[in-house]
Amino acid sequence: MADMANDYDVLVIGGGVVGAAILWELAKYDLRLALLEKRSDVADATSKANSGIAHTGFDSKPGTLESASIVASNPRWDEICNVLEVPLQRCGAIMVALSDDDLHSLEGILAEAHANGVHDVRRLTVDEVRALEPNLNPATCGGLLVPRESFTSSALLTIAYAESAVLNGAEVFLQHSVTALQPVEGGMLVTTPQRTFRARWVINAAGLASDAIAALVGDDSFAITPRKGEFFVLDKSVGPLVRHIILPVPTPISKGILVAPTVEGNLILGPTADDIQDKTDTRTTADGMKRVAEATRKLVPALDPYRTTITQYAGLRAVCSTGHWEVHPSERCPRLIHAAGIRSTGLSGSPEIARRVGEMLAEGGLALRPRPGYQPRRPAIRLIREATPAEAEELCRHDPRYGHLVCRCEQVSEAEIVQAIHAPIPATTLDGIKRRLRPGAGRCQGGFCGPRVLEILARELGRDLSGIAKSGPGAEIVTQRNKAAWTSKPQDN
């Protein structure tokens, strides 16, 4: 048997927003914790490719775990994002009625919001809607205001949850794909290609693969299928077109295609909702983008997605065959707790899902004693683009690499990139740096800064250029064949 030196109280499988939130919650207690993630980074699957909205739960199905989790989580976001230093904008959402049928539907949605305990949702007259959002379709005939709908960055939140846990003693093993689970006396053996871990409890937060993890203990009580959602990301120049999250009146299978601001000042348009077969198919499609363009131009006619887009992306919702979230101990193996099938709103419900998992562990007999010296604050990297001139001067004095701008579009310096590479959850790929700091996420999409980031990664990680990948093994950018071209120094500024 492989190395058995690793004994943990709880081992979390999956470094998405759900798994990372659970690790963060449990790190408040005096426990030995680890998270296993098969990819090269946390937040590299569905949790990096969503709408980034911290929902209030106003339109969720009353009486469900999903609804209870979102409603309980929403009031906590200000405090959570403050201590984890993650951006949060309490911008509010407007659901836009474009017809009499829509107006009629709003009545039901308002009643549902109140049944969900979201009492501040209210009807808006057409004049009120226009005053709040002058660029909406002139056919707008009314709306609903949802004051506490907010947006954040799902990826930054996931990274922050995981980093906070690491700062408090948890371990995160990247590129560790769980391939076997074996119940043993008092716990489980968890096998990855590198080694076998022993844990008293295991949490299944493997997103789209959570059915495969359940199957490792013979639990076939649910199956997961992917539902694709495609998005446009628009240039910041059109960011001011809307100030709120703009929602259509929903359909039975989707909350609908929305227009939303992002923490970075872009607009996103999407998502579609298409059931597909392949759990790895995150390609955008011409048809999907067309539907997004049409639907969002109905809400905001001034949008011109094809001319103002800087990129597109798609994410896959983990649709559960049972029709609801599966957050409970496995019936086949009570030491395995599922946090699975979190199809929609997993970001919004993540603090409460994590709290409930903690409660289940306590009910199972795990002692949850406060961790001595627990540090709730997780400091984020100081960003030169957010600094005042005086602060920028101070940052440069402290680390002159703050004066070397690597990414012009998003104003990212070498100092920030170096810090991300050596952070508690290290960024070791181009995508990892992009997710944390945004070089490559701006207008030029990495055309200018990509080679520079690559060189900094290689230098800081002590690797050859051919050892640096876009997203992980197999996605290396510099190969032995094209190395000569890449190593000829690009022109600086």
Residue 209 binds to ligand FAD (criterion: CB under 6 A): yes
Residue 19 binds to ligand FAD (criterion: CB under 6 A): yes
Size of the site for ligand FAD (CB under 6 A): 39
Q: Are 224 and 341 in contact (CB under 8 A)?
A: yes
The question of whether 398 is a catalytic residue gets the answer no
Which helix (H) or strand (E) element contains residue 69? Answer: helix 65-73
Query: Given the complex with ligand FAD, which of 96 and 205 has the nearer CB atom?
Result: 205
DSSP 30: S
Shortest Cβ 10–ligand FAD spacing (Å):
15
Between CA 161 and CA 27 the distance in angstroms is 10
| CA angle, 408 then 413 then 418, to 5° | 140
Residue 431 binds to ligand FAD (criterion: CB under 6 A): no
Stretch near ligand FAD under the rule CB under 6 A, chosen from 123-131, 345-353, 389-397, 410-418? 345-353
Query: Given the complex with ligand FAD, which of 13 and 336 has the nearer CB atom?
Result: 13
Dihedral sign, Cα of residue 269, residue 273, residue 274, residue 279: positive
Residue 317 binds to ligand FAD (criterion: CB under 6 A): yes
Query: Given the complex with ligand FAD, which of 212 and 368 has the nearer CB atom?
Result: 212
Residue 177 binds to ligand FAD (criterion: CB under 6 A): yes
DSSP output for 326-359: EEEE-SS-TTEEEEE---S-HHHHHHHHHHHHHH
Position among 88, 121, 160, 316 found at the interface with ligand FAD (CB under 6 A): 316
Residue tagged active-site, from 55, 176, 244, 338: 55
Q: Which residue has the tokens 């049944």?
A: 115
Position among 39, 378, 436, 452 found at the interface with ligand FAD (CB under 6 A): 39
Instruction: Write out the binding residues for ligand FAD, residues 252-291 only, by CB under 6 A.
Output: 271
Shortest Cβ 350–ligand FAD spacing (Å):
8
Report residue 12: phi and psi, to 5°: -100, 130
Shortest Cβ 122–ligand FAD spacing (Å):
22
| Distance from the Cα of residue 314 to its chain's centroid | 13
Between CA 381 and CA 415 the distance in angstroms is 9
Q: Which residues contact 426 (CB under 8 A, 6 or more apart)?
A: 420, 432
Shortest Cβ 53–ligand FAD spacing (Å):
3
Residue 47 binds to ligand FAD (criterion: CB under 6 A): yes
Query: Given the complex with ligand FAD, which of 53 and 417 has the nearer CB atom?
Result: 53
**Which residues pair with residue 267 across a beta bridge?**
234, 261
Q: Are 208 and 318 in contact (CB under 8 A)?
A: yes
Shortest Cβ 318–ligand FAD spacing (Å):
6
Shortest Cβ 139–ligand FAD spacing (Å):
26
Query: Given the complex with ligand FAD, which of 37 and 414 has the nearer CB atom?
Result: 37
Position among 10, 22, 29, 37 found at the interface with ligand FAD (CB under 6 A): 37
Between CA 458 and CA 176 the distance in angstroms is 22
Residue 45 binds to ligand FAD (criterion: CB under 6 A): yes
Query: Given the complex with ligand FAD, which of 102 and 211 has the nearer CB atom?
Result: 211
Residue 205 binds to ligand FAD (criterion: CB under 6 A): yes
Q: What is the CB-side half-sphere exposure of residue 69 using CA atoms within 13 A?
A: 26
Shortest Cβ 374–ligand FAD spacing (Å):
23
For residues 63-92, b (16+ Cβ closer than 10 Å) or e, as one string? Answer: eebbbbbbbbbbeebeebbeebbbbbbebb
| Both tokens assigned to 311 | 């990129």
Between CA 4 and CA 356 the distance in angstroms is 30
Dihedral sign, Cα of residue 312, residue 47, residue 434, residue 377: positive
| Both tokens assigned to 181 | 């689970």
Residue 14 binds to ligand FAD (criterion: CB under 6 A): yes
Query: Given the complex with ligand FAD, which of 139 and 276 has the nearer CB atom?
Result: 276
Q: Which residues are catalytic?
A: 55
Binding site for ligand FAD (CB under 6 A): 13-19, 36-39, 44-47, 50-53, 55, 177-178, 205-209, 213, 229, 271, 315-317, 342, 344-348
